[in-house]
Structure 1
Amino acid sequence: MIIYGGLFLTALLAATILPAYSEVLFTGLLLQGHDPLLLWLTASVGNTLGSAVNWALAVYLLRFREHRWFPFREERLGRAQRWFQRYGVWSLLLAWAPIGGDALTFVAGLMRVNFWLFLTLVAIGKAARYAALIGIVHFAG
């Protein structure tokens, strides 16, 4: 169980702004012969919950937007909002992407995307990524 707990924590942290890569651990555990379904479920849930942390952090921080220390200026917020409005909530299916995926989940929080819709779309994308990794490892090895 420690192995799956470690994978869960790594996947959760990898979805936040912290530098972590759950795919390496996930693939290594697959190659060691651990249960692919349990690995898939553990990594998918952990990574999705990590994205939910980004969403919640953005919603929380938004109330401080008038403070000088707020990390995003109004023009950057406006640009992010326009981008998100252009591509819409369906772009959350790409939250698994190594470049921009974490920022996308943060912007969704800033845009106050409905949490359950957010969670559903992000979970689909992240679960599909881990399923693809299982397929790649299975067919390659």
Structure 2
Amino acid sequence: MFDFFYSNLSYIGLFIVSFLSSTLLPLASEAFVVAFVKFDFDPTLVLLTATLANTLGSLSTYALAYFGKEKILQKYFASSLKKLENYTLNFYKLGWLFAFLSFLPLVGDLFALGLGFAKYPLIKTAFFIALGKLSRYFFLISLSS
């Protein structure tokens, strides 16, 4: 019985950490993913959990910019907002690449924010963000197995 709760609650914890790390909070989900694999959790479930949560976290950042009020964005992201407004056209032209590269530390959050400002299509954004994050976690899990 303890094993059931231990494993299920652990995946929920991984989901929460992976989600929060892909928002504007500086957390390292990669360390948790590697630790889960090292502690003999199912690598496939770790991959799917971390990818889904991390993708949803990036999409929440995207939604903040896409639907957010400018006053809120200016208050919290004033310096980034000016830069992102200048690059909106590039974000729209190369949106698939920025979405794929949103797994990168530090700049990945800005990429998701920029895609939202540029109003890049949600389906394309979600697909390429998920593909990039899946690739990163697959690589990490492969190295740590």
Q: TM-score, normalised by structure 2?
A: 0.84
**Structure 2 alignment gaps of length 5 or more:** 1-7
Residues in 2 aligned to 1:124 and 1:15: alpha-carbon distance in whole angstroms: 14
1:28 corresponds to:
35
Q: Does 1:126 align with 2:133?
A: yes
Deviation track 1:69-124 (CA, whole Å, cap 9, x = no partner) reads: 47447753432314424644322111100130111001100111111110000000
Give 1:57 shift. Answer: 0.6
SS at match of 2:23: coil
Q: Pick from 97, 100, 108 the counterpart of residue 101 of structure 1.
A: 108
2:67 corresponds to:
60
Give runs of aligned pairs for residues 1-141 of structure 1, distance below 5 A: 1-61=8-68, 63-64=69-70, 69=75, 71-72=77-78, 75-85=82-92, 87-138=94-145
Moved >4 Å (runs of 4+) = 67-70
67-76 or 111-120, which deviates more: 67-76
Q: Aligned partner of 2:131: which letter? A: I
**Structure 1 alignment gaps of length 5 or more:** none
Whether the 8 Å contact between 2:89 and 2:118 is mirrored in structure 1 is no
Aligned length: 136
Residues in 1 aligned to 2:136 and 2:119: alpha-carbon distance in whole angstroms: 25
Give 1:19 shift. Answer: 1.5
Deviation track 1:13-65 (CA, whole Å, cap 9, x = no partner) reads: 0000011111111111100100000000000000000001001111122x436
Structure with more of its chain in helix, by fraction: 2
User: Share of identical aligned residues, percent?
Assistant: 29
Q: Aligned partner of 2:120: which letter? A: V
Give 1:68 shift. Answer: 7.1
Residues in 1 aligned to 2:60 and 2:46: alpha-carbon distance in whole angstroms: 21
